[in-house]
Structure 1
Amino acid sequence: MTTAATSTVTGSAAPSRPRAVTAGLWTLQVLLALMYIAGSGLPKLVGEAYAVQIFDELLGGTPMRLVVGLLEVAGGIGLLVPRLAGLAAACLAALMVGATVAQLFFLDLGYWYTPVIFGVLLAVVAWVRRAEITALVSRH
C-alpha cells in the first residue's frame, strides 16, 4: 500500500516523511512560532513602544497594530498544532508579503529583507505541509 493510500485509510492527512525531515520541520515551526508569538505578536498587542511607533507611521495605527498582533499570535499558535501548521504557515507567509510592502513603500526602516526571509521560511513549511493544507481545506 502506498503512503497516500495509507494516509487515506488511517484518516491522517500527514504523509510519511523521513525522521530527519520531520524533526527539522518541527524545529523550524517551533522557532517560527516563538518568534511570531513572543517576538512579534505579543509586543504589538501589549503596546510596546517600538511597535506603536511603527504602526503610527502606517495608515491603520492602533487598530492595524492590534489586528496584525492577533494574526501573528494566532499563526504562531497554529504552527504548533499539527493539523493547522501548514495553513498557519501559508497565512503568515501572506502576512509577510504585506509586511514587505509596508516596509518598502510606507516605512523607512531599511529592514525590508526580514519579512522576506521569514516569508520564505514560512513558505517552505507550507509547501512541505501542502498535503495537510489540502486535506484541511477539502474537509470544509
Structure 2
Amino acid sequence: MTIVSIVVQSLLVAYYVFSGSAKVAGAKYWTDMFAHLGLPQWFRVVTGFVQLLGAAALVVGYWYAGANAWAGIWLGITMLAAFFVHVNAKDPIGKSSPALVFAVLNAVVISLNASDMTNLF
C-alpha cells in the first residue's frame, strides 16, 4: 500500500464517518438538503448507513487492501448518484461538485488497490 493510498483512504474515512454519522443523527444541514432534493428522510438515514459501512470497509482496508477497492466502488457509486441528484435538482456547481470530487477520490482508491480486489483476506 502506498503513502498516497493511505492518505486518500484516511481522508475518505474521516469524511464518511463525519457525513454518515450526521445523516443518521439527523443534522439540520442534511435534513434540509434531503428535503431540498425531494428525497424522503428515511433515505437520508439509509444513505448515512451506506457511508458508515463504506468507511468501515475502508478501515478494514488498512490491513486488507482488497477491501479498499470494493469500498471505493461502493462509495463511488453513492457519490456519483449524489452528484446526479444534485444536477437533477439544478443545484449550483458549489453544491454538486463535492459529490463529484469524492467520487473521483474513490476512483483513485480503486485504481491504487484494484490489483488486490481478489485478495480480500
TM value normalised by structure 2: 0.86
SS at the partner of 1:29?
helix
Q: Distance in 1 between matches of 2:49 and 2:60?
A: 17
In the alignment, structure 1 residue 30 sits paired with structure 2 residue 10? yes
Q: Structure 1: 5+ residue runs without aligned partners?
A: 1-16
Q: Distance in 2 between matches of 1:100 and 1:108?
A: 10
In the alignment, structure 1 residue 73 sits paired with structure 2 residue 52? yes
Matches within 5 A, 1:112-131: 112-131=96-115
Change (3 A) 1:107 1:43: farther
Which of structures 1 and 2 has the bigger CA Rg? 1
Matches within 5 A, 1:5-84: 22-38=2-18, 40-82=19-61, 83=64, 84=67
Are the equivalent residues in 2 in contact too, given 1:57–1:107 (CA < 8 A)? no
Deviates more, 1:55-64 or 1:112-121: 55-64
Q: Which has the higher contact order (CA 8 A, sep 6+)?
A: 2
Are the equivalent residues in 2 in contact too, given 1:96–1:118 (CA < 8 A)? yes
Q: Distance in 1 between matches of 2:17 and 2:103?
A: 16
TM value normalised by structure 1: 0.75
Number of residue pairs matched?
Answer: 116
Q: Distance in 1 between matches of 2:36 and 2:101?
A: 23
Q: Distance in 2 between matches of 1:86 and 1:44?
A: 24
Q: Distance in 2 between matches of 1:93 and 1:134?
A: 19
Instruction: Name the structure with the higher helix share.
Output: 2
Coordinate RMSD, CA, aligned: 1.8
Once the two structures are TM-superposed, the CA of residue 109 in structure 1 deviates from its matched residue by: 5.0
SS at the partner of 1:112?
helix
Q: Distance in 1 between matches of 2:4 and 2:112?
A: 11
In the alignment, structure 1 residue 96 sits paired with structure 2 residue 79? yes
Q: Distance in 2 between matches of 1:125 and 1:108?
A: 27
